[in-house]
Amino acid sequence: MRAAFMTLGCKVNQFETETMEGLFRARGYEVVPFEERAEVYVINTCSVTHLSDRKSRQLIRRAARTNPSACIAVTGCYAQVAPEEIRALEGVRVVIGTKARARIVDYVEEALRADTGATGTITDIMQARVFEDIPLHSLPHRTRAFLKIEDGCQNFCTFCIIPYARGPVKSRELSAVAREMKLLTEAGFYEVVLTGIHLGAYGIDLAARPTLADACRTALAEKSLRRLRLGSLESVELSADLLELMRTEPRFAAHLHLPLQAGSDNVLRAMNRHYDTAAFAHLLEEVRAAVPGVAISTDIIVGFPGETEEDFAVGLDFVRQMGFARMHVFPYSARKGTPAARRSDQVPPTVRKERAARMQALADELAEEYHRAALGSVADVLFETTEDGVTDGLTETYIRVYTDAPVTRGQIAPLRLTHLYRDGVWGEMI
């Protein structure tokens, strides 16, 4: 039996797909590319925007066309918040939300035997209180490994559906973090990225109340680990303990992804973000003082309901002042069931699109400035892919480096950064 997988969305979703791949391999399935004909297709969905929902439906239809008799299993955030929409699509035989994925192979095989309507389970995710710990049965097919240590979110930003798709904060025990880290490092992964939906809240639900810094120390206890990186982290949850660990531990990548979401205090209040621009700017000053050379990336949403042209202009100016190394820019997408979607002062789509283009132009400008400032320096690069004689990889500060030097995938080597190239820089072997 062949099984094919496709993932939409964040690094947490990518990790969860890898655990499900492992479950299928352990039961004797051959995992093949999604484009190939398979008996089982597993689509791990995202629901952060309407576009994510639409892409999920497109992938389901594509799988049904590739093999009309296949069992299509749909899981993830979109499955959690809109299961009936998914069950109505042709070919869908299994629907699982954001829990009970440890049983996905059982559900698939039940569907294959029964040959009836869709099976699976959608739990009341708001009542879920325990981290679903699915050990890695097979190893990721990348040079960097993601390790999910937290699930759920309790921020309830007014634009976001994810708390309703993931439920409250659920943290992985430190013993399980240590177990998975040992597996990954013994398999030869040089870099591990700790991920979660609300990563900064790690440990608040556990009896021992460990912190994210404790989870990082547990990961770094693996001496063969060459580089540790964090996924997205709320700025207000960046502790002095974590910053000190980043400052003193050379294997801790000097890179933080701190979602700003808006550079206007008016918009931040409407979003129910728990800081203002002054607090965010002060934090970045502290971070850069504590960890010289740190790269700070961010997310920005433009066209939020009620955002005026003045709010947007203020936001542009603030973003420019912050000097981000990298930015992900999103036009606001109304999510049914969220407070922001019910507002009457929605910004017209054409205005959202135009503002997104202007913010993206600034993002490109800031990224080029950041890359240009790194030229002449020497950086350790973890190499990932090779195409047409050119290999590329990432520095600890998340600069993509290209080279034609004789390096191999998975290797870390020092390169001198010489000039701008594509979406990053060119590197020469020392």
Contact 77, 46 (CB under 8 A): yes
**Residue 391: what are its φ and ψ, rounded to 5°?**
-110, 140
How far apart, in whole angstroms, are the C-alpha atoms of residue 318 and residue 322?
Answer: 6
Q: Tell me how far apart the alpha carbons of residues 56 and 45 are, in angstroms, rounded to a whole number.
A: 6
Q: Which one is the CATH code of 378-429: 2.40.160, 2.40.50, 2.160.20, 2.60.40? A: 2.40.50
* pLDDT at residue number 115: 67
User: pLDDT at position 138, please?
Assistant: 77
User: Which amino acid is residue 341, in one-letter code?
Assistant: A
Sketch the domain layout of the chain as residue ranges. 2-123, 144-374, 378-429
Chain centre to alpha carbon of residue 241: 24
Note the pLDDT of residue 119. Answer: 82
Q: Specify the pLDDT at position 298.
A: 98
Condensed to tens digits (0 to 9), the pLDDT of residues 151-191 reads 999 999 999 999 999 999 999 999 999 999 999 999 989 99
- The span from the CA of 43 to the CA of 91, in Å, is 12
The two tokens of residue 62 are: 């594509």
Give 192's strand partners. 145, 228
Superfamily of domain 2-123: Methylthiotransferase, N-terminal domain (3.40.50.12160)
> What confidence score (pLDDT) does residue 136 get?
83
pLDDT for the residue numbered 408: 87
3-state SS string for the chain: CEEEEEECCCHHHHHHHHHHHHHHHHCCCEEECCCCCCCEEEEEECCCCHHHHHHHHHHHHHHHHHCCCCEEEEEEHHHHHCHHHHHCCCCEEEEECCCCHHHHHHHHHHHHHHCCCCEEECCCHHHCCCCCCCCCCCCCCCCEEEEECEECCCCCCCCCCHHHHHCCCEECCHHHHHHHHHHHHHCCCCEEEEECCCHHHCCCCCCCCCCHHHHHHHHHCCCCCCEEEECECCHHHCCHHHHHHHHHCCCECCEEECCCECCCHHHHHHHCCCCCHHHHHHHHHHHHHHCCCCEEEEEEEECCCCCCHHHHHHHHHHHHHHCCCEEEEEECCCCCCCHHHHCCCCCCHHHHHHHHHHHHHHHHHHHHHHHHHHCCCEEEEEEEEEECCEEEEECCCCCEEEECCCCCCCCEEEEEEEEEECCEEEEEEC
What would you report as the CA-atom Rg of the chain, rounded to the nearest whole angstrom?
22
Name the residue with tokens 């791990």.
Answer: 44
User: For 144-374, CATH number?
Assistant: 3.80.30.20
Q: Which residues of the chain have pLDDT under 50?
A: none
Does this model's pTM top 0.85? My answer is yes
* CA–CA distance, 199 with 238 (Å, rounded to integer): 10
Residue 409: per-residue pLDDT:
87
The pLDDT value given to residue 135: 86
